[in-house]
Chain A
Amino acid sequence: MNGMKTKVMVGIIVGLLLLTLLTSPVTASSSANASDTANLSDSAVVSDSAAAPDFVATSDITLNILGNANGDRTIDMKDVEYTESIILGSGSQTEFADATGDSSIDMLDVTRIELINLGKAKELTLVDGAGRQVNVTLPVKNIIPTDYRTTETLLALGTGDMIVGVDRAFHERMAEFGLLDLPEVSMHGQSVDYEMVLTLEPDIVLLPLSRAENADDIARNLPNTAVVVMGLASQKSIDSDLTTMGFVLGKEKEANELLSWMQDYEELVKERTSDLTADEMPTFYYEYMSGSEEKWWVITPDDPSAGQVAEETGGLNIATGLAGTSIEVDPEWVIEKNPDFMFADLMKGFDSGPGKTEEDMENLLTEVLSDRPGFEKVNAVKNNNVYLVDRDIIGGPRWVIGHIYFAKSMHPELFEDIDPAEIHKEYLKKFHNLEVAGTWAYPLPE
């Protein structure tokens, strides 16, 4: 009996060996077929000079996912129709029409778009904040944001049950949002604990824009994980990246709701300040203190986050035209510029915000203005137009609160009915179901 078993075993081994030898030509056949599509001479090949179709995006917000052929904020049957028009030769090629990412726009893309639209796609390809094409397996179940402001934005979409790890700063600076039991896997996207991340088996690891250059290196250390760079903390990129992540995470409705909320307030500021002439716009100086260096830096309009938040608020940044996003400047330069308003961005994050009272902030303001010889001559100081702003209402979805605060500080008469503190409460309640006491800006303009 044992002899029989041995013979069968040896037989199976011989058989498997034989099969291994014989399967090679089949593989060759498959690869030849795969190249078939790419070699179709008449298929619409993606060109670099792709022209946008006439109806493309009335706003700058785009869903950065392959398959969004018409460049709007979603993937639907309009993308199917548009891709068909490209293949037939009546539509112009667009950036995201090549849904399969095979460098050819053909009917396979149409099927992929339909699968995405119907929620049947097993994967999709997004273009992240670093311009990288990243394949994401669907449905996404577990995510790890490695930057605390990204975490806040994702929580506003109702993804709390999907987050399996956070960065240390989230626990230190945003404890009010919870997730206290989750492991810490990084610090601002730096020092990623690869072993821990792999143990948590996330589908997506999100990096902030500041880590764009390291994204490929980090991805190499995290096999079978989609490593995605997203600008969810920055005013300039949050709209499109929020739209993209909302789609990928199956939170399209929630993302649109948050976007509308931000856009409504942004529009309100624009409406009320658009008629101001240059003479009616005061000058302002906007500074922040680096957490490690204990010195103040001026923020220019080129800063994609804070610099942009202060733009179009009815004032003129005295740092306009300076090279860079933030620069250490000589106090004499500030005195010479003599700004009408001064805003100090409390980047360090522990002196303002949750739990802080107006009294705490008043003391902080005194401290901020101390040891600045010559500043007493500056209009902003002379006229009590110096304001403290917590970075929490400058970054992430709360940027719009800071935006309103800037506008109301410089033009209280245009925003009598608007209270930034109330809008902050509204945000916390509406998108996080939280009520948090604290002071994020001081003084509150009357």
Chain B
Amino acid sequence: MKKKLWKGLERSAFFGICFAALIAAFAAVPVQAQQATVSIDTPEIVEGSTVYATVNIDSVENLDAGQFVLVFNPDVLKIVGVENGSIGEAEVPVQWRSVDNGKVRVIFNLEGVTGVSGSGQLASVGLEVIGGGKGDLRISNGLLGDTEAHSIDTDWGVPEASDIDADMRDIEAENTQKTASGFEAVLTLIGLTTAMYLTRSKQM
């Protein structure tokens, strides 16, 4: 009798874990998908030349508008223009303005509020190389917004970060880690329980 009851409980626990794992798996997928990535590709710079860097975006969903600051070494680089980017067939219209020596603020606002998803370029940055040394072109203080005027969870790339961005990323990374380790624990638990269940089934 006791054995039967124990066996029933085992099965219940197994069902429970599987149920939880299924729901957790479904819930985890959209969280992962919401993370967009922005990166900057800078070509090799040669003094006296004009080159183009691209600000790339990957895996964004419902993007409507955004802003970022381009930070660079003004002794080496001079920004001569920031041109529109595109995501799929949607143009990303940009506006830009020098806000400081070595800082250019860029904003973009897609037409309407229908949003765009996917990967592409946010902007193309024309750079005149005016001196020797490192250009140190990077993005700081980025913000992407969706069609509901909410910020989009974005990885702006650690090496290009400003101090504050880096701090924020540390917090995010810490939390992401927590989420990931929690999810791993569920998977481990499922694996162990399944193995235990199969072993006991064979013994019977």
Contact = CB atoms under 8 A, between A and B. Distances in A.
B17 A107 contact: no
Interface string A316-329: 00000000000000
A42 B143 CA distance: 11
A292 to B, nearest CB: 50
Contacts of A84: 95, 107, 109
Interface string A70-82: 0000000000100
Interface residues of A, number: 50
Contacts of A33: 151, 153, 172
B109 A15 contact: no
Contacts of A3: 8
A12 interface: yes
Nearest to A107: B65
Given A88-B97, A89-B97, A111-B64, A13 B113 contact: no
A118 B141 contact: no
Interface in B127-159: 140-141, 143, 145-151, 153
Contacts of A110: 65, 107, 109, 145
B33 interface: no
Interface residues of B, number: 57
Contacts of A90: 97
Nearest to B96: A88
Nearest to A32: B171
Interface in A22-40: 22, 25-26, 28-29, 32-37, 39-40
A337 B18 CA distance: 91
Chain A contact residues: over half helix, strand or loop, or mixed? helix
B109 A87 contact: no
Contact of B175 (A25, A106, A122): A25
Contacts of A42: 69, 99, 103, 105, 140-141
Contacts of A428: none
A100 B149 contact: yes
A15 B97 contact: no
B15 A25 contact: no
Contacts of A89: 97, 99, 105
A16 B27 CA distance: 13
B162 interface: yes
Contacts, number: 167
A106 B67 contact: yes
A28 B151 contact: no
Contacts of A99: 149
Contact of B16 (A18, A35, A43, A80): A18
A372 B19 CA distance: 88
A11 interface: yes
A7 B11 contact: yes
A118 to B, nearest CB: 6
Given A16-B20, A22-B24, A32-B172, A41 B105 contact: no
Interface of A: 3, 6-8, 10-19, 22, 25-26, 28-29, 32-37, 39-43, 80, 84, 87-90, 99-100, 106-112, 114-115, 118, 120, 122
Interface of B: 8-9, 11-20, 23-24, 27, 31, 64-67, 69, 95-97, 99, 103, 105, 107-109, 112-113, 140-141, 143, 145-151, 153, 162, 164, 168, 171-172, 175-176, 178-179, 181-183, 185-186
24 contacts: A10-B16, A11-B11, A15-B15, A15-B19, A15-B23, A22-B24, A22-B183, A22-B186, A29-B176, A29-B179, A33-B172, A36-B168, A39-B168, A40-B141, A41-B141, A42-B105, A43-B141, A84-B95, A84-B107, A88-B107, A100-B149, A108-B65, A111-B147, A111-B149
